[in-house]
Structure formats: structure tokens, C-alpha cells
């Protein structure tokens, strides 16, 4: 498997149109996404040898996206602030290099603006999935990674 380049991990926000156009958040210096699944334990007095048992296919799956850097798009900043203020979902796409694209509704959980006297203004953002996400995998072709 080829090395994955971190700058290829992108976060894009939708414009709400039909069809929806997605604009990548530019100026990011760090991006991270985390997939989690809350487990449902079903262990009881008759569990074999006292081993923990978990219910397969149950629980709640979530995706959290964090990003930080210099926000270079006024439109993206305005869309994120409006979504945060209204606590309304905003459609996003998260492209994970070598893996694929996750897409669906997210809520802006946290937006943090920072400015030092001797540097540029920066911000950080946390998005939390707010509904079912779709996933489009990538496969490796002879010319590099291609959409499946």
C-alpha cells in the first residue's frame, strides 16, 4: 500500500443546493477524524466462563471530525458559524486518502478562534455526525487510487 499523504485528508462543506456543491475547507494545518461505535454488553450469569459478551450489530456509530488552521474562505466561515448558531446540520464530505469518502449531516460542536499578537489568526473546529453517513470506497488502480 502506498504512503498516504495527510494533506489529502480533506473536509468539505455543502452549500445546501440541489445538486449540492461541496467546497473544501482550505488553510487547514491539521485534520483528524474518528469513527466510534458504542458497544452493548450482554454478559449475564450464564455467559460462558464469565467472558464478556457483546451484541453484534447493536450500538450507536459516530464520526467526529476535528480540523485546525487558517480559515481562508469567508463563505465557509459564514456557513459554519450559521450552522453552529442554529445548531442545524450541515452536509459535509470527509475524504480519507486510501480509504474513501464519508458524507452526510454534521453538527458544528465547537468552533474556536485564536489570535496571538505576533501571528496569524487561527481557528479549530469539531464536527459530529448527526445522522446516517454514506461511504464511497477507493480502490487502488494501476495509475494510483481511483474511485470504486
- CATH code of the domain containing 96: 2.30.110
pLDDT, position 136: 92
With cut-offs at 50, 70 and 90, classify the pLDDT of residue 58: confident
Residue written as grid cell 495527510? 6
Tell me the longest C-alpha to C-alpha distance in the chain: 64
pLDDT, position 101: 92
pLDDT, position 117: 82
Residue 90 lies in a domain: yes
117: left (phi over 0), alpha (psi -120 to 50) or beta: alpha
Residue 59 lies in a domain: yes
pLDDT, position 148: 44
> How many CB atoms are located within 10 Å of the residue 104 CB?
17
Residue 88 lies in a domain: yes
Residue 1 lies in a domain: no
For residue 131, give its domain range: 6-147
60-116: pLDDT as tens digits:
899 999 999 887 777 777 888 888 888 999 999 999 888 889 999 999 999 888 887
Amino acid at each position: 500500500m502506498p504512503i498516504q499523504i495527510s494533506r489529502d485528508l480533506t473536509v468539505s462543506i455543502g452549500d445546501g443546493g440541489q445538486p449540492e456543491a461541496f467546497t473544501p475547507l482550505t488553510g487547514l494545518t491539521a485534520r483528524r477524524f474518528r469513527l466510534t461505535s458504542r458497544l452493548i454488553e450482554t454478559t449475564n450469569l450464564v455467559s460462558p466462563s464469565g467472558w464478556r459478551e457483546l451484541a453484534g450489530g447493536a450500538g450507536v456509530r459516530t464520526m467526529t471530525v476535528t480540523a485546525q488552521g487558517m480559515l481562508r474562505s469567508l463563505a465557509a466561515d459564514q456557513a459554519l458559524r450559521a450552522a453552529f448558531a442554529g445548531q442545524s446540520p450541515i452536509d459535509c464530505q470527509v475524504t480519507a486518502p486510501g480509504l474513501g469518502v464519508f458524507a452526510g449531516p454534521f453538527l458544528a460542536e465547537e468552533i474556536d478562534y485564536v489570535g496571538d499578537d505576533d501571528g496569524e489568526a487561527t481557528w479549530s473546529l469539531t464536527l459530529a455526525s448527526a445522522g446516517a453517513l454514506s461511504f464511497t470506497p477507493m480502490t487502488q488502480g494501476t495509475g494510483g487510487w481511483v474511485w470504486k
